[in-house]
Amino acid sequence: MSFLHIHNVHKRFGDTHVLKGIDIAIEKGDFLVLVGPSGCGKSTLLNMIAGLDAISEGELLLNGERINDVHPSRRDIAMVFQSYALYPSMTVAGNIGFGLEMRKVAKARRREAIQRAAELLQIENLLDRKPAQLSGGQRQRVAMGRALVREPQLFLFDEPLSNLDAKLRVDMRTEIKQLHQRLGTTIVYVTHDQIEAMTLATRIAVMRGGELQQLGTPQAVYDDPNNLFVAGFMGSPSMNLVTARITRHEGRLVARIAAPAGDVTLPIVRDRAALEAWCDRDVMLGLRPEAITDPASANREDGDIHEATLEIALVEPTGADLYVVTQLGGRSINARMRPGAPLSPGQSTRFAFDVSRMVAFDPETEARIRDEVPATPDEASTGHADSTGNADSTGNILGQNA
Amino acid sequence: MSTPPSLRGGARERLQHWLPRLVLSPSFVLVLFFVYGFILWTTYISFSNSGMLPDYTWAGTRQWSRLWSSWTWGIALHNIWVFGLLYIVTCTALGLLLAILLDQRIRAEGALRTIYLYPMALSFIVTGTAWQWFLNPGLGLERTMHSLGWESFSFNWLIDANMAIYTVVIAAVWQATGFIMAMFLAGLRGIDGEMIKAAQIDGAPTWKIYGRIIIPQLRPVFLSAIVVLAHLAIKSFDLIVAMTGGGPGNATAVPATFMYSYAFSRNEMGIAAASAVFMLAVIAALIIPYLYSELRESRS
């Protein structure tokens, strides 16, 4: 029995179908991040878990108990809002303690709990101030204190960092992660920032247009995307996607990609069985920038490296990396090279492709072309075992080709 | 066309510099003379021997002591106190209640809001006359009830010296409540919806969400509403003239009707001037700190 089970949940506002049957299950201690572009329904789903929006269809189970019609205050949840939603007429202590006060917790115990939460978040010296006297980061801490103090079963975060400046956002992100590790709480977190999702989550649910695109560990979602949308949405710089033709070359299945100075041919090593059916047809190939490198920094131990010579169109140094742009399959693609490599635009150089990390998509349906995954009957992730069980299969394929 | 550009530019600059002053100066002079000039003149008259006509001989505080020993002035002050307090408290409470009810995302909110706001569009004379007919025992409510068969029904506050002031309160509240409601509604709409959601999750019942979180945030609206209502109350004249004419007897006399009757029917211009200056002082004591705080806020 999973801890939080969202079972075939729908949401309709009049004629608009906002959520179209969402199935997610997480365990106690999980950090689930709902990520997707704005309007994908992630905040609506969070509000439904909180009980602030009614569920049109489907079931919501917390700890095995159906909570569809339970009032928000009786669900044993706490929520941190994007605007912080602090009560301006109360002090910080009043804000943090309000939930306990409403639950008729005795004053002495309340003060103790407030003190403990304040210590945890390092805001003890702010307890007597009003929210208007606090900075953005301090307000964020108070909002978290208000959630922590009640020690609920489930924490909900609705884009809590989007009102902070870039530097503070990274700091608070680290702190939320530390808090999760230290307290072992179960968290559902909404964001549109895929980096936030990758760094924080133990489970990511990628959503688009009211539908769940993929549910899995951050690594699985990153390395083994279910479809073109997930591949393009997760990762920065995003995955390179080029059109390629699957053909047979000297008895091997290969992908042929058009390039200005002659086609590039890359052997198919991953999802080979499924791609057999695509022989002599076009597919969409995806390769992460870090899977295209200079030959010297290629990972030859785990990967399956194939080289090709291409002309450099643009060089973008970021300090830590050197991104090199080249033309392939009629598109600009990004390769991540060793910083300080003596490369300049117009020059031709060797590119090393790690074909073990290459993924292919159906250009029409945008669905992933992949081998049948040996189904691991995982009761916990009902409904989406197909997408969650993939973390291991990636490793298998890499192993075969090493 | 033959003027050099620099000279032409200079002339235009000078015109731009003087034009606003030129346009504003007539109204400035008129306001200075008719408003502030007559305030000074009235203040002087209150220290003079004036009776039916202005008399500029200095009389010191004679008119002021006559004013404060006048029995009618005592009634007027008592009435304005009762009227003002009831008017402000009832309007604020009812306005807030209506605003909260309208804020529950009900249907036809726009139509309801307009209905409540319409009385404010009427002049006090119309309100006063309409309510006078409605409450007149021989014409309005009481007569209707009798003709419908409820013979024992009696509502004669309008002609009861002890109750007449309350009929004025009813009419005034009817007129201003919608406006105060609109002010509160605007305030309620400015409150962050997430805060209410947070309070729901915190387990606060609706009445506590209003009492502890929303209403404390409406403090600036309360201040504005009270200042608007207070100066309307002190200035109230036309409503009382139209409804009761200050009667029965002097039962509904207020400082404004007192001033009018002393100036124009009792030929006691000096006392009337003193009462006018007193009203001005009270209103100034209310408005000046308010304006000061408002202006300081907008500047910072």
Q: Domain limits of chain A?
A: 4-233, 240-369
Closest residue to A85, CB basis, from B195, B212, B217: B195
Averaged over successive runs of 10 residues, the pLDDT of chain A (402 residues) comes to: 89 89 92 92 92 90 89 90 90 92 90 91 90 89 90 90 87 90 92 92 93 93 92 90 90 88 88 88 92 88 87 90 90 90 89 92 91 54 40 35 32
pLDDT of residue B9: 67
CA-based nearest residue to B172, from B260, B281, B279, B94: B94
Closest residue to A102, CB basis, from B194, B197, B204: B204
B204-239 per-position pLDDT tens digit: 888 899 999 999 999 889 988 998 898 888 888 888
Closest residue to B202, CB basis, from A47, A52, A98: A98
For B201, the closest chain A residue by CA position comes to: A73
Residue type, B185: L
The CATH code belonging to domain A240-369 is 2.40.50.140
Q: Which of B105, B202, B214 to mutate to test the interface with A (most CBs of A within 10 A)?
A: B202
Architecture of domain B70-299: Orthogonal Bundle (1.10)
pLDDT of residue A372: 74
For A40, B48, B64, B234, the CA distances from B268, given in Å and listed in that order, are 77, 11, 12, 21
Burial (CB count within 10 angstroms: exposed 0-12, middle 13-18, buried 19+), residue A365: exposed
Mean pLDDT score across all residues of chain B: 86
pLDDT at position B8 over 70? no
pLDDT of residue A376: 47
ipTM value of the model? 0.76
What are the chain A neighbours of B208 within 8 Å (beta carbons)? 102
Burial (CB count within 10 angstroms: exposed 0-12, middle 13-18, buried 19+), residue B242: buried
The CATH code belonging to domain A4-233 is 3.40.50.300
Taking residues B15-19, what's their average pLDDT? 88
Closest residue to A81, CB basis, from B198, B208, B213: B198
The alpha-helical segments, DSSP class H, found in A83-217 are 92-102, 107-121, 136-148, 166-183, 194-200
CB contact under 8 A, B202 and A99: yes
pLDDT of residue A390: 40
CA-based nearest residue to A304, from A357, A368, A246: A357
Question: Are B270 and B63 in contact, with CB atoms under 8 Å apart?
Answer: yes
Q: Rounded distance, CA A290 to CA A376, Å?
A: 30
pLDDT of residue A396: 34
Q: How far is A73 from chain B (nearest CA, A)?
A: 4
CB contact under 8 A, A98 and B199: yes
CA-based nearest residue to B76, from B237, B199, B203: B237
B131-159 per-position pLDDT tens digit: 888 888 778 888 888 888 887 877 777 77
